[in-house]
Amino acid sequence: MQLTLSSPLDMHLHLRDGKMLEIVAPLSAKEFAGALVMPNLVPPVTSKEMVQSYKERILQVCKDDRFTPYMSLFFLPEYDYEFLQELKDTILAIKLYPAGITTNSEGGVDNFSLEALAPTLEAMNELGIPLCVHGETNGFVMDREAEFIPIYERIAKRFPELKIIMEHITTKEAVDALMRFENLYATITLHHLHITLDDVAGGLLRPHLFCKPIAKRPEDRMALRKVAFMAHEKVMFGSDSAPHPRDKKEAPGCAAGIFTAPVALSALAQIFEEAGVLENLQKFVSDNAQKIYNITPPKKEVRLVKEPFEVPASYADVVPMFAGQELKWRVESVL
């Protein structure tokens, strides 16, 4: 049994920088035609020069592959129209992080009043720059995404022409909100389609499955699977693949993030086939994103075959999801 995916896209990817960038970026570039690269470096990517420099570093380590890094800017409330107009052709989106909510987000937003956010949002709205959001509050960990939904609603109502991407949604409440507003869209990860909180902490603690937003309940996973498996036009694949070295994961104060980039297509093919909807995977991993973001990625055909694939125990010092386990599909060739 074979499956060919045309120009697969990962619309939420962490590539880090330095040595980690050298390890993980080629693994995404090998199988994906493009990816939306997150800007939460240290320091965060907040200028045209920083965007261009980061893109050059990515391209340098991915030079052997046909791969487009779509760049994003770290949201600051004080961006104005002139500043963003100069950046418009350099970035695909602007990423908003609540302050301190996840890795390298300390410089994020701590005031979510529309008055505080309006200068940047108004400029984005006029220029047609999509807003990507890590939508969590600082409340109880299982409620953080649901508590953030009123903020999505306020922004969606105030700026009905602004495309707002609810990143890595994890709850039934988020899926419900997605359907209430025409200008809301969402990315869904492999790991949130696969696991629940029980997989993370129901038995022995599994640090390599710890992420933010944390995995939720079976009914939440079911809601995500429903829209993903039908490849609903408002959702697209975003891995949120977030590598950390082993000593940062297997440690007190475990870093949040699951490294899925090198196994994503194989694992997605497996769960879509098990659901009987393998024919919808193309839309989920490419076609929907092309329409939502109005992009044309490089042509790349990825052929998968239904043959066992044993996931490596690690890639350098980074442990992937399914490490040492056997998946039912493997990537046979990339053209």
Taking only the tens place, the pLDDT of each residue in 7-46 is 999 999 999 999 999 999 999 999 999 999 999 999 999 9
Compute, in degrees rounded to 10, the torsion defined by CA atoms 48, 51, 56, 58.
-170
- Does residue 328 have a pLDDT over 90? yes
Region of 277 (left: φ > 0; alpha: ψ -120 to 50; beta: rest) is alpha
Over the chain, what is the mean pLDDT?
A: 97
> How far is residue 221 from each of residues 77, 183, 192, 224, 312, measured CA to CA in Å?
33, 23, 7, 5, 26
| 51 in Cβ contact with 73 (< 8 Å) | yes
Q: How many domains does the chain have?
A: 1
**Rounded-to-integer distance, Cα 98 and Cα 115, Å:** 16
Taking only the tens place, the pLDDT of each residue in 242-256 is 999 999 999 999 999
| 166 in Cβ contact with 234 (< 8 Å) | no
Q: What is the pLDDT of residue 64?
A: 85
CA nearest 323: which of 335, 334, 311, 308? Answer: 311
Instruction: Give the helix ranges, DSSP H, for the chain.
Output: 18-31, 48-61, 81-87, 114-127, 144-158, 172-180, 190-194, 197-201, 218-229, 246-249, 264-274, 281-282, 288-293
Pairing of the two strands 68-74 and 34-37: parallel
The one-letter amino acid at 47: S
Q: What is the pLDDT of residue 312?
A: 98
What burial letters (b/e) apply to 158-185, b meaning 16+ CB within 10 Å?
ebeebbbbbbbbbbbbbbebbeebebbb
Taking only the tens place, the pLDDT of each residue in 94-114 is 999 999 999 999 999 999 999
Q: Is this structure's pTM higher than 0.85? A: yes
Examine the residue annotation and report whether 240 is marked as an active-site residue of this protein: yes
Average confidence (pLDDT) over 175-187: 97
Average confidence (pLDDT) over 208-219: 98
Hey, is 279 helix, strand or coil?
Answer: helix
* CA pseudo-torsion sign 140, 12, 282, 332: negative
Domain CATH code at residue 330: 3.20.20.140
CA 121 remoteness from chain centre: 21
Q: Which domain covers residue 6, as residue numbers? A: 2-334
| 46 in Cβ contact with 96 (< 8 Å) | no
Q: What is the pLDDT of residue 88?
A: 96
- Cβ contacts of 233 within 8 Å, gap of 6 or more: 283, 288, 291
Average confidence (pLDDT) over 50-78: 97
Other CB atoms within 10 A of residue 297 CB: 21
Catalytic annotation, pick one of 240, 247, 287, 317? 240
